[in-house]
Amino acid sequence: MQQGQITYCGPAPLPGELWTAWNGDPWLIAALVLAALAGWRVPSRAAWLAGVAVLAVAFISPLCALASALFSARVLHHVLIVAVAAPLLARGAGWQARAGGAAFLAHLGAVWLWHLPQPYAAALASVPVYWLMEITLLASALWLWSAMLHAARAGQAVALALGTLLQMGMLGALLTFARRPLYEAHFATTQPFGLTALADQQLAGLMMWVPAALPYLGLALWRLTGHLLPAGERA
């Protein structure tokens, strides 16, 4: 265990401790079990349960503890929530959200706000603020994905997906090319994993810049292809 700030996911682990660093929060586990049970009443049970499983990986597995040590793990944690769990849950529930432009702005605001150094530090210093960060990221992503999946016009869905891809890519580029580390909570916790704080931040930026963009690109291509196909060939 490393010395430093203790967050919701616990103190930053050492590499040898990582695989024993599971999150056993009973309230979180109960919430995930209830969410899984709710999946028996949604239109697409498999997608919903897959989304709940991704949330379990993000919050219960050692990834949660690793995110206390590495900013890149925190970004992976957030990517799983907003770009993997959220579309699965939105697909499973069959929600047909409106106001896609407002959803885009809400999600853009949440993503950028919580990756600014000061709000990010506040989330690590306070469990209520931590959950405010996680809930606003997930809720805004659910709203956006519901709007993109069910937009009446393919062009609107494509525009929302590409806009989200671009803004996340811009944030990723800023993190990748920053000349100094920005997140004080990780200044002293990356070295045991063979990374400087700056290299960890650059890895986080690359993760947000490229892999995180793939689900949005896939959605855009899916909606565009569906629009271009003759009516009789559409799924």
Q: Show the 3-state SS of the chain.
A: CCCCCCECCECCCCHHHHHHCCCCCHHHHHHHHHHHHHHHHCCCHHHHHHHHHHHHHHHCCHHHHHHHHCHHHHHHHHHHHHHHHHHHHHHHHCCCCCCHHHHHHHHHHHHHHHCCHHHHHHHHHCHHHHHHHHHHHHHHHHHHHHHHHHCCCHHHHHHHHHHHHHHHHHHHHHHHHCCCCCCHHHCCCCHHHCCCHHHHHHHHHHHHHCHHHHHHHHHHHHHHHHHHCCHHHCC
pLDDT bucket at 5, cuts 50 / 70 / 90: low
**Tokens of residue 136, six digits:** 């606003």
Is the pLDDT assigned to residue 226 strictly greater than 90?
A: no
d(Cα 88, Cα 82) in Å, to the nearest integer?
Answer: 10
Tell me: the pLDDT tens digits for 152-185? 788 899 999 999 999 999 999 999 999 999 999 9
pLDDT bucket at 26, cuts 50 / 70 / 90: very high
Tell me: the pLDDT tens digits for 48-106? 999 999 999 999 999 999 999 999 999 999 999 999 999 999 999 988 888 899 999 99
Q: Where are the domains of the chain?
A: 15-233
The pLDDT score that the predictor gives to residue 97 is 83
pLDDT bucket at 224, cuts 50 / 70 / 90: confident
